[in-house]
């Protein structure tokens, strides 16, 4: 796969069942040509992580994922020594009366090194350029973020017992953030930035029919319209595209061809994930016939 134009990027993403607007296709194209990381921000469930997985499929290469979380440190993300295996080998070597220097040369060999995602991405580039997905970087601590800056700058690391390891080719990097905290500008400056917003009605409809081709057209339009309406409410957690697809899949499983009041009540847990949001929806919206009707319309006009 060689991206020759922005139009080709959008087309290939579409073939991989990822509906991208031109702005996102442009960022992916430039990241590929300039060999720069992509920094994707947006609300949870809008398709940020999927960009990395789709790129790995398009280039038929390995996807290496680093899931960030509070307390993540360099050792966990980079490498660790297999201490139990080293100790066992030391005992065996001592029984053969080998010297300390000889033992150290053996136990600090590659077979005792546990490669974590960042080191794996550096070493994998010697064969075929992988896609490194650094997911939800905003969940990590600022100390880890500073460490990540160094890795993304040079893609090389120094292991005291072995030496410096450097990537032959820069991995394709996708960094995602849900904005639970502000990520430092220094990290963003090293990347091509793009904000993925909630989709428009037309885009969401296309996503549904592309990912779920077996869905009835009328139902797909009703689902897309319903999701557009429900996101206008200031819930604790607005549903993303992932919830749209989960809900549509559930409706297909239930053999529904259109939305009605009963099926919405039965499947509300596919859309809203907090009890306070569900209670608010039922009391403030679903209890009002006029508002309820507004959520279920859009059959005659667009069908």
Among 90, 119, 127, 123, smallest CA distance to 107 is for 90
Which residue is associated with the tokens 């040509």?
Answer: 33
Q: So what's the pLDDT on residue 128?
A: 81
Helix, strand, coil content of the chain in percent (nearest 5): 50, 15, 35
Q: Is 21 helix (H, G, I), strand (E, B) or coil?
A: coil
**For residue 298, what pLDDT is reported?**
61
What pLDDT was estimated at residue 87?
Answer: 86
Structure-token match 């947006």, residue found: 42
38 strand-pairing partners = 174, 192
Look at residue 302 in the predicted model and tell me its pLDDT. Answer: 41
Instruction: Determine contact, residues 54/12, Cβ cutoff 8 Å.
Output: no
Which two structure tokens, joined as six digits, stand for 195? Answer: 């904000």
Q: Is the pTM of this model over 0.85?
A: yes
Instruction: Give the pLDDT score at 160.
Output: 85
Block residue for tokens 């580039």: 125
pLDDT tens per residue across span 102-113 = 777 778 877 888
Q: Which residue in 302, 109, 134, 104 sits closest to 222, CA to CA?
A: 302
Report pLDDT digits (tens) over 242-298.
999 999 999 999 999 999 999 999 999 999 999 999 999 999 999 999 999 999 876
Mention the CATH class of domain 6-78+116-195: alpha beta
As averages over each run of 10 residues, the pLDDT of the chain (303 residues) reads 90 94 96 95 95 94 95 91 84 70 76 90 82 96 90 87 87 95 91 96 96 95 96 95 97 94 94 96 93 77 39
How far is Cα 238 from Cα 232, in angstroms, rounded to an integer?
Answer: 9
- Within its chain, how far is the Cα of 95 from the centroid? 49
What are the extents of the domains in the chain? 6-78+116-195, 201-296
pLDDT of residue 125: 66
């Amino acid at each position: 796969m060689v991206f020759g134009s922005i139009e080709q990027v959008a087309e290939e993403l579409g073939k991989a069942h990822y509906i991208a607007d031109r702005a996102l296709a442009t960022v992916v194209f430039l990241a590929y040509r300039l060999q720069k990381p992509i920094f994707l921000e947006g609300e949870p469930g809008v398709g940020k992580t999927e960009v990395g997985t789709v790129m790995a499929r398009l280039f038929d290469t390995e996807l290496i994922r680093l899931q960030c979380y509070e307390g993540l440190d360099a050792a966990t993300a980079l490498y660790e020594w297999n201490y139990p295996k080293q100790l066992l080998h030391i005992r065996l070597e001592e029984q053969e009366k080998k010297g300390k220097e000889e033992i150290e040369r053996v136990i600090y060999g590659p077979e005792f090194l546990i490669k974590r995602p960042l080191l794996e991405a550096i070493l994998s580039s010697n064969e075929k350029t992988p896609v490194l997905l650094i997911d939800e970087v905003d969940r990590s601590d600022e100390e880890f973020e500073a460490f990540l800056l160094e890795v993304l700058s040079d893609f090389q690391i120094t292991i005291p017992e072995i030496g410096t390891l450097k990537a032959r080719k820069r991995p394709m990097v996708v960094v995602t953030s849900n904005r639970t905290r502000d990520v430092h500008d220094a990290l963003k400056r090293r990347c091509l930035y793009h904000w993925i917003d909630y989709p428009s009605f037309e885009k969401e409809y296309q996503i549904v029919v592309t990912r779920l081709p077996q869905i009835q057209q009328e139902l797909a339009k009703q689902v897309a319209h319903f999701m557009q309406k429900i996101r206008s409410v200031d819930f604790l957690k607005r549903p993303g595209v992932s919830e749209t697809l989960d809900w549509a899949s559930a409706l297909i499983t239930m053999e529904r061809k259109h939305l009605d009041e009963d099926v919405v009540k039965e499947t509300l847990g596919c859309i809203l994930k907090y009890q306070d949001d569900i209670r608010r929806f039922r009391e403030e919206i679903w209890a009002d016939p006029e508002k309820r009707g507004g959520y279920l319309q859009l059959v005659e006009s667009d069908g």
